[in-house]
A and B are shown apart, each in its own frame.
Chain A
Amino acid sequence: MSTGSDGRVWLGTPAFPKAARTALTDTQLRRNLRHATSTIRAKRLQAVEELTDFEALREAGSALKRRTARHLDRYLEQLERSVTDAGGTVHWAADAAEANQIVTRLVRATGEREVVKVKSMATQEIGLNEALAEAGITAYETDLAELIVQLGEDRPSHILVPAIHRNRAEIRDIFQREMGAWGRAAPRDLDDGLESLTEAARQHLREKFLTARVAVSGANFAAADTGTVVVVESEGNGRMCLTLPETLITVMGIEKVVPRFTDLEVFLQLLPRSSTGERMNPYTSTWTGVVAGDGPQAFHLVLLDNGRTDVLKDTVGRQALACIRCSACLNVCPVYERTGGHSYGSVYPGPIGAVLTPQLVGVGQAASLPFASTLCGACYDACPVKINIPEVLTHLRAEVVEGGRQGLRPPTAEAVAMKAAAAVLNSPRLWRMAQRAAAVGGGVVGRGGRVRRLPGPLRGWSNARDTAVPPRESFRDWWRKNREGGG
């Protein structure tokens, strides 16, 4: 996988409109996405509607996250104490490089050269697998979708189901071609039935689980008061990694802390229903430090900043840190449904990616992402912690534009036009003149009240749409003539 030096954005990925154009022509991808998103939408809706107080749960989840963010330093210090008291070791990583160094050092200290991994956004964000590979350590992804991505030398395209862009036939081919090089090969006669594919993954990973001595995980939540870390999963690969190895290293974004263990009563109701549309996911594991005789006897918690404090600084953008990575916003997003995850050029795709990535890496590095939305609001409606994604998108658009104004970039033709439009619109007299000019101009180029081709940046629009020509008489001219006797 070719992530850039900064794991958060894939360097070399084109800006969103261009990447999307390529994705839109991939008919197989379009079909896979349409099928997957419509399935999961229906399930989520059913699971959410079953709880009459879901709105109250969302409010509480949102408020708990707000409380956490506003007192993050205090909760992290408390978490550190609780985990340490329970026999764990806490490490702090200011950025991706430091987190990778810490994990590499910890793995080396065990003398092992292989680790098993539970699906984790944080470790993808920092490019941990690549960093470990450079140090001669092989990381085996154990989540089925991550396995598909890893074997296919691919990139994840969804938070929850990273191989959503692949269908069963493609997956069969990947398993058959690649599994042998990583461990137990797929059966020769593997068919593309879902059961067969799942069984092949079970067989392939079983020996890894039973022999692994070091595991790396992420965390969904960590309770500050008790030091309890939580991993929510479905397949049991998480349980395998969290239980069988001797050493467990968990990399967790600093925003994942929650004040109290009992606050999980809110999040464990919100997350599964929003995410997979289940009342509860098959397995949720919690552990507090080290327990003698049960599970790993060495536990390390790496607290990762890597741009999160920059997000925290922005009082509007801060709310994006509340994300519990359920992926509901992706599944309901009409843009994501058509372009898929790769177009977003980051491990965080979809609406949350469009607000998180630019904040993590700086708006200048991902300037097209805040514009990759119609602001339709479906994401905000679906978000279990009520992140107002359209609000943050508009806010970030202003940051992009104002970054340009501060001379970071030359003023664009758009900026010039917008400025001119604002001046005209601020004067009813100029506005009236502009309207008349438009009506005359439209009358010249239009046929039958319609224009088929528009110039410049409007070409994309007119490729698929006719454009109405303004009528000769604006509303205000009509009013003056008919209601005030003026002209």
Chain B
Amino acid sequence: MSSRRTVLGRIRAALADVPRDETPDQVGVVRDYLRSHAGHDVVGLFVERVADYGATVVRCAPDEAAGAVAAALERHGARRVIVPEGFPAGLLPDGDWGWVRDDPPLGVTELDAAEGTLTTAAVAIAVTGTVVLDAGPGQGRRALTLVPDYHLCVVHADRIVPDVPDALGGLDPRRPLTFVSGPSATSDIELERVEGVHGPRTLDVIVVESRGAGA
């Protein structure tokens, strides 16, 4: 007998007390929890919560975005920066930057040699201060935001949802998803938080808001 049949058979035998005609929906799940813990100022909350993790957050208008990107990269001293396919050209600052493209796909050594990665985000969550990457345009495959030590993420204010339920409802689970909440960290020694283990040790976030929206 295959183990598949063995295990399923054991499960069915173990559940002898469950009526045969019971359907999963008959096991009630009351969902009276809040859909959102955010107040009205969703963008403001997102900014505050990202900063709580020790990430740097900047808010700016669309025409200031490229300048904000340049300022962040300069502050971090990053010039060899990976720019994934589909990253909006308008967000790239002019000047002598060493943009690195993932085409053909970069090997791990090349990834390791890059000084940072510049991406957009699929969704951002205000209450938890999270950016979610789904490998879509402007984000690239997962390794791009993992191996380099610096991640600069540009988030459009209209991508910020109030809380976790809205975020999950709007994501496509068939895409590989990475929920990023602040820089890599550990509490494994004496339960004290230290930033920067294997993921990027620095996370900067730029929130781009059209005038009149947000705030």
Contact = CB atoms under 8 A, between A and B. Distances in A.
Physical contact A–B (CB less than 8 Å):
yes
Interface of A: 32, 35-36, 39-40, 50-53, 56-57, 59-60, 63-64, 66-67, 70-77, 86, 92-94, 98, 142-145, 148, 161, 163-164, 166-168, 171, 194-195, 197-199, 201-202, 205-206, 209-211, 223, 226, 228, 234-237, 239-240, 242-244, 254, 259, 261-262, 264-266, 268-269, 276, 278-288, 291, 293-295, 303, 305, 309-310, 312-313, 315
20 contacts: A36-B191, A70-B18, A70-B27, A71-B23, A75-B24, A93-B3, A144-B186, A166-B189, A194-B192, A228-B173, A235-B184, A236-B146, A236-B200, A243-B142, A244-B108, A279-B127, A279-B129, A280-B128, A283-B184, A285-B179
A74 B180 contact: no
Given A53-B33, A262-B169, A284-B179, A161 B197 contact: no
B146 A243 contact: yes
A36 B190 CA distance: 6
Given A144-B188, A194-B192, A303-B7, A279 B181 contact: yes
A226 B173 contact: yes
A121 to B, nearest CB: 15
Given A56-B30, A236-B197, A261 B18 contact: no
Interface string B47-86: 0010011000000000000000000000000000000000
Nearest to A145: B188
A235 B15 contact: no
Q: What 10 pairs between A and B have smallest CB-CB spacing?
A: A236-B199, A236-B198, A309-B10, A235-B197, A280-B128, A145-B188, A284-B179, A294-B141, A67-B27, A280-B181
Given A60-B29, A236-B184, A282-B183, A254 B199 contact: no
A57 B10 CA distance: 31
**Residue among A52, A74, A235, A264 having the largest count of chain B Cβ atoms under 10 Å:** A235
B94 to A, nearest CB: 31
Interface of B: 2-4, 6-8, 10-15, 17-18, 22-24, 27-34, 37, 49, 52-53, 105, 108-109, 112, 125, 127-130, 135, 141-143, 146-147, 164-165, 168-169, 173-192, 194, 196-200
Contacts of B112: 206, 210
A171 B189 CA distance: 8
Contacts of B17: 315
Contacts of B135: 291, 294
A164 B8 contact: no
A57 B189 CA distance: 30
Given A280-B128, A280-B130, A313 B189 contact: no
Contacts of B4: 92
A194 B195 CA distance: 10
B164 A261 contact: no
B173 A194 contact: no
B198 A240 contact: yes
Given A71-B24, A265-B168, A282 B187 contact: no
Nearest to B5: A92
Nearest to A148: B188
B24 A32 contact: no
A305 B7 contact: yes
Contacts of A143: 188
B169 A283 contact: no
Nearest to A309: B10
Nearest to B107: A210
A213 to B, nearest CB: 11
Contacts of B130: 280
A266 B29 CA distance: 11
Contact of A234 (B143, B165, B186, B189): B186
Contact of B174 (A35, A40, A76, A226): A226
B2 A92 contact: yes
A473 B6 CA distance: 64
A210 B112 CA distance: 9
Nearest to A167: B190
A295 B176 CA distance: 9
B11 A60 contact: no
**Residue among B175, B181, B187 having the largest count of chain A Cβ atoms under 10 Å:** B187
Given A244-B108, A265-B169, A279-B52, 12 more contacts: A64-B29, A70-B15, A74-B24, A93-B7, A210-B109, A211-B108, A226-B174, A234-B187, A279-B129, A282-B181, A294-B142, A309-B11
Contact of A282 (B32, B175, B199): B199
Contacts of B147: 210, 244
Contacts of A254: 7, 11
A309 B146 contact: no
Given A39-B192, A210-B112, A294-B135, A94 B3 contact: yes
B131 to A, nearest CB: 11
A87 B158 CA distance: 34
B173 A234 contact: no
A174 to B, nearest CB: 11
A282 B182 contact: yes
B191 A40 contact: yes
A72 B105 CA distance: 41
Contacts of A205: 198
A309 to B, nearest CB: 4
Contact of A265 (B12, B22, B164, B175): B164
A312 B14 contact: yes
Contacts of A145: 188-189
Nearest to A93: B3
A368 to B, nearest CB: 26
A221 to B, nearest CB: 12
B142 A234 contact: no
Contacts of B179: 268, 280, 283-285
Nearest to A68: B24
A385 to B, nearest CB: 12
Contacts of B49: 279
Nearest to B19: A70
A313 B188 contact: no
Contacts of B142: 239, 242-243, 285, 294-295
Contacts of B174: 86, 226, 288
A291 B146 CA distance: 17
